[in-house]
Structure formats: structure tokens, C-alpha cells
Amino acid sequence: MKYFTRTALLVAPFMATQAFASDLTIYTYDSFNSEWGPGPLLEKAYEAHCQCDIEFISVDDGVSILNRARIESTSTKADVLLGLDESLMKAAKAEELVQTHNTDLSGLTQALSWDDNTFVPFDYGYFAFIYNSETTPTPVSSLKALVESDASVLYQDPRTSTPGQGLLFWMNAVYQEDAAQAWSQLAKHMVTVTKGWWEAYSMFLEGDAEYVLSYTTSPAYHEVVDGTSKYKAAPFEEGHIRQVEVAAISAYSKRTEQANDFLAFLISPAAQSIIPTTNWMLPVIDGVELPDAFDHLVTPKAVDVPLGDLIDHRSDFIKVWRTSAQ
């Protein structure tokens, strides 16, 4: 008996996560479903609304959601894939990992101009360079000005992070044929390129650079949580790269009715009021009540080049970047 108790104590933590069959299984990225993310709140709100049980399964990040769906293929448990972005949509569609939805998208904000019968957007934001207005009182006003300046810059690796990939598209949209030269000019005054978002952002907070690549919504976090408005996003004349985060129904899901209902909930005011202050992105519908900090954010325009054209050349862009950005 003594041994049994001991063994039970050792094994108990492993069994603590006993999975029960839920009515809807959603694959998402980890920070979406963390203690601070929108996941737990959305789950509560939706379960109260549908009188059912939903389950979030979180993986590393957006790309991992797609990879997991690819690997699992027909045997996937996922009904909904939540947290892909525009750059992953094409692959998900081409590999037939997603199916069409019947959600009414007419309520979406005009700013998004979204019309897609497979993917439902649930939040969006623009990549932007963040600066400390106390140490940098007059920020640059365009990407070209930043590249030509001697300001210290931190950004993320386009091979390993989403913001880094955003900058890759941004540079190529603005510079097109001259991207290689622009990268090497930027390299002269960049501090470093990090694997993920947090490394660069923490270095920036330590004061290691004047500009860091992040989102236009980042200042809202500092204002709401830290109570400081010194961090600001620099609006660029050429426009910004937009990141739209989307959800879709897995091609192998049989619970499409429930999944469609969840997608509709995702763009309802109830869900949209949760997402901005927990995922720190912009809501996809108008009229959501938000903290004042969101009114202080810059409202950038998107770059002229359609993102779809840029995405197709991603691997060529990366080849140019890795030889010239050093």
C-alpha cells in the first residue's frame, strides 16, 4: 500500500490533464490561450452562450498550428484552427486543410475590407517601429528615413518570427528592386536580429536601441498595464504591413455546425471586446468599447502592394536578406 501511494503521488501530475471529449476542439497558439491571453475568457463566454464544452489545444505559435494540421492530416482532432495569419492562409488552402464557412461577415469593419469564404478574421494590427518618446523626441516618419538614418534598430529574424517576416514584406514593398541595398544600409546601424519577438523587445526596454519592430498596438499595453505613455509607434509615410489573424474550420472537422457557430461568436461584440486588451490587437468590428489607450494609437494605412504578391516571393526575399543584411 505504501508503495502504491508513493507511485500514485509520482504519477498523479501526469494524469492531471485527463482529457475529456469536448463539443468543439480549437487549435490555437500558446499566448492566445495563456493565463493572460483571450483564450480562457473566450472559453467562458462562449460556453455560457452555447451551453456546451469547448477545448483549446495550444501549440507554440501560428506556424505550428498549420504544421500540426499538416502532420495530423485526416486524424486531426481540430475543428477550428485559430491564429493563422495572411501569410499562412495560402498554404492552408492549397493543402486543403481548411473548409469554407457560412459565417456572415457583413459586420466586419470597413477598414479591413475582408471577404473570404474560408477564413474569418478575429483581430488585426500593423507592424510598426516602437520608440521611446522621452529619449527620441523626433522620430523618423518613413521607412526610407529610418533606413537612411543612423538610429539603432532591433528587429526579429524573418526566418523564425512573424514580425520579422512582416518587415521582410515591408522592405520589399517599399524598395522592391533595391531591397538588397536597403538591407545592407539598415544593417550598418541595426543592433541585432533576434529569434523571437520578446528578445528584441526586452533589449529595447533595456535601452539597447532607439527603435524596435513590434505592433502599432504595443503602446496600448504600456499605457493600460504600466501606466506609461512614453512608448509610441512611429507612423510611416509609405504605409505599414498589416497582420490579420484568422480562424478557419478544419477540413476534417465533422462538427461544422458548432464550428460555424463559434466563428460567428468570434466576431460578435462579446468576443471582440475581450480580444483587444488580452491579445493587444485591434478589433475587427466597429463600435467596440475600448480603453482610452486605444484612441491614442496611430492609425496607419496599409502599403500599396497587395500582401498576396509579396507572400509568393517569401523565399527569394529571405535569400536576398540573408546575403545583404550583414
Partner 1 sequence: MYRWVISSTIAAILSRCGAPRLNEAELISLMINTHPTPAYRNAGVILLFVLLLLPSAGAFWGLTQQKGGGLDLALLGDPYLQQIIGFTLKQALLSAALSTAIALPIAWCVFKRPDTRFKAAFLWGCLLCFIAPTLVVVTGLVALLGRSGHVTTWFYELGMDGWNLYGLSGILLAHLFLNVPFAMRTFYAQLNTLPDTSLMLSRQLKLSTWVHFKRIEWPILQAVLGPVFGFIFILCFNSFAVVLALGGGPKSTSLEVAIYQALKYDFNIPEALLLSWCQLVIAGGLYFAFTRKEGIHRQSMERPTPFRHLRYATGPLGVLCFWVLALVALVWTLPFWSLLPGLSAFLKASSLERLIPPTLITLSLGLASALISVFLAYLALKPIRRALLGGKTRYAQGLSWLASHSLFVPAMVLSVGIFIALLGTIDLELYGLVVIALLNGFLLMPFALQRLKPALCLYDQQNHALVASLKLPPRKAMRLEWLYAKATIKNTFGFVMVLAMGDVALFAIFGPSGSTSLPWLIYSLAGSYQIAAASGAALILLVLCAVILGICETNPYRREARAQH
Asked if 30 touches partner 1 (CB under 8 A), the answer is yes
Diameter of the chain measured on Cα atoms: 74
Q: How far is the CB of 108 from partner 1 (least distance, A)?
A: 26
For residues 19 and 110, which CB has a smaller minimum distance to partner 1 in the complex?
Answer: 19
Q: Which stretch binds partner 1 (CB under 8 A): 51-59, 140-148, 265-273, 297-305?
A: 51-59
For residues 66 and 105, which CB has a smaller minimum distance to partner 1 in the complex?
Answer: 66
Looking at 102-169, which runs of residues are DSSP E strands? Answer: 120-132, 153-156
- Please report, in angstroms and rounded to a whole number, the separation of the first and last CA atoms in the chain: 65
- For residues 60 to 79, the per-residue mask of contacts with partner 1, x marking binding by CB under 8 A and - elsewhere, is x--xx-xx--xxx--x-x--
By three-state DSSP, how is residue 128 classified?
Answer: strand
Asked if 319 touches partner 1 (CB under 8 A), the answer is yes
Cell 474550420, located at residue: 249
For residues 185 and 218, which CB has a smaller minimum distance to partner 1 in the complex?
Answer: 218
For residues 32 and 103, which CB has a smaller minimum distance to partner 1 in the complex?
Answer: 32
Instruction: Give φ, ψ of 324 to 5 degrees.
Output: -100, -25
Q: Which stretch binds partner 1 (CB under 8 A): 100-108, 258-266, 290-298, 318-326?
A: 318-326
For residues 38 and 300, which CB has a smaller minimum distance to partner 1 in the complex?
Answer: 38
Taking the CA atoms of 196, 202, 203 and 204 in sequence, report the sign of the dihedral they define.
Answer: positive
Separation between Cα atoms, residue 74 and residue 83, nearest integer Å: 20
Residue 27 pairs in a beta bridge with 57, 81
- Those residues whose C-beta lies under 8 Å from the C-beta of residue 315, and which sit 6 or more positions away, are none
Separation between Cα atoms, residue 90 and residue 314, nearest integer Å: 12
Do 259 and 80 meet the contact criterion of CB atoms below 8 Å apart? yes
Asked if 296 touches partner 1 (CB under 8 A), the answer is no
For residues 108 and 126, which CB has a smaller minimum distance to partner 1 in the complex?
Answer: 126
Asked if 160 touches partner 1 (CB under 8 A), the answer is yes
Do 74 and 252 meet the contact criterion of CB atoms below 8 Å apart? yes
Q: From the list 24, 31, 175, 250, which residue makes contact with partner 1 (rule: CB under 8 A)?
A: 31
Residues that bind partner 1 (CB under 8 A): 3, 10, 13-14, 16-19, 30-31, 33-37, 55-60, 63-64, 66-67, 70-72, 75, 77, 152, 157, 159-160, 187, 190-199, 201-203, 205-209, 218, 221-222, 225, 280, 315, 319, 321-323, 325-326
